[in-house]
Amino acid sequence: MHLKKVNWIGLTSGILLIVVIVLSFYNPWWQLRIGDYGYANFSPLNTEFSFLGITFLIPLLTTLNISCLFLLSISAVLMITYSVNPTKEYSKQLLCWSYKKPLGILITFIVGIVALSQIVSFFANQFAQIELTLPIIGTTVIQVPSEFLGELSGIQIGLTVSGTFQWTFYLAIAATALCIVTRIRYHKAVIMAKPQTLTNPKNNNLGTTTPTI
């Protein structure tokens, strides 16, 4: 491996993807907290729910997490492979495949969080008569309807609900951005990686000369 041929931006993005994969098992991309009663941790690689101290998983989401883990892992490996050999014939195919997967997963995750907020708010308003706008970022207070309190109907009870994107989400954005920059700079990186041959313009028109008498 020649260091001059290495695409350092691509190599950095591939390594950063691996870091994101590892950290996402311990830190969510987005967290929803319901007072002190429970929380929900969301990331493409790990989704976890907890209520009243009981932690549980949803099999469907776990399957999706495994699929995302598989795709991101392959993307990271292919990005690193491309970066150390950017002039190979197959390098562009590796790059085109690997940079799209983190971008697709990131966009899908954001759309999923927005959709979750809208769906939960809709069902709460329509079926539970709870005025709720599930916050994606920020905090709101849910007033529990008196019908749910029975003998305590004269008491107003509010639950604090907060949503926040965690630092691992922004790290994933940085890794994805570097992948996109690597693709944009592909042609320039190839030119820089290829050895440059210097030609002497004086030698371009070599031929025989007739001596003068």
Question: CB of 16 within 8 A of CB of 174?
Answer: yes
- Residue 185, domain member (yes or no): yes
- Residue 205, domain member (yes or no): no
- Residue 67, domain member (yes or no): yes
- Residue 208, domain member (yes or no): no
* pTM of the predicted model over 0.85: no
- Residue 212, domain member (yes or no): no
User: What CATH number corresponds to the domain at position 96?
Assistant: 1.20.140
- Residue 200, domain member (yes or no): no
Residue 32's contacts (CB-CB under 8 Å, 6 or more residues apart) are 39, 40, 42, 134, 161, 162, 163
The number of domains in the chain is 1
Q: Which residues of the chain have pLDDT under 70?
A: 1-4, 127-129, 144-157, 186-213
pLDDT tens digits, one per residue of 56-74 = 888 899 999 999 999 999 9
Residue 125's contacts (CB-CB under 8 Å, 6 or more residues apart) are 131, 132
- Residue 30, domain member (yes or no): yes
The pLDDT of residue 175 is 94
Q: Tokens standing for 80?
A: 């690193």
pLDDT tens digits, one per residue of 89-104 = 777 888 888 888 999 9
Question: CB of 32 within 8 A of CB of 162?
Answer: yes
Q: Where are the alpha helices (DSSP H) in the chain?
A: 8-23, 59-84, 91-127, 167-184, 186-193
The pLDDT of residue 91 is 77
Domain that holds residue 166: 3-142+155-195
35 CB-side CA count, 13 A: 12
- Residue 58, domain member (yes or no): yes
